[in-house]
Amino acid sequence: SEDLGRLFTEFEQLDSGTARHFEGTGLGLALTKKIVELQGGHIRVEAEPGKGSLFTATLPSMTELAN
């Protein structure tokens, strides 16, 4: 959905309702994305409403970095 693009935005929280189970600042995924990208990798998300989300971070191997 269009909301998935906002997941990696600093201080952004998609679920702002009162029924939310977890508190946070909205920095965790933004920081994770920056760290992964600084190491030459990328992160992606697959989400299914009502079921959950799968986050995948891919980093280059040490041999790729050496070349």
Given a contact cutoff of 8 angstroms between Cβ atoms, the answer to whether 53 and 44 are in contact is: no
Given a contact cutoff of 8 angstroms between Cβ atoms, the answer to whether 57 and 32 are in contact is: yes
- Above 60 in pLDDT, residue 65? yes
**Model pLDDT for residues 18-60, shown as the tens digit of each residue:** 555 566 677 888 999 999 999 999 999 998 888 988 999 999 9
Domains and CATH numbers, the chain: 2-66 (3.30.565.10)
DSSP secondary-structure letter at 8? T
- How confident is residue 8, by pLDDT bands cut at 50, 70 and 90? confident
**Residue 62: φ, ψ to 5°:** -60, -35
What is the identity of the amino acid at 8? Answer: F
pLDDT score of 33? 93
Q: Tokens standing for 32?
A: 């994770």
Cα separation of 24 and 34, whole Å? Answer: 18
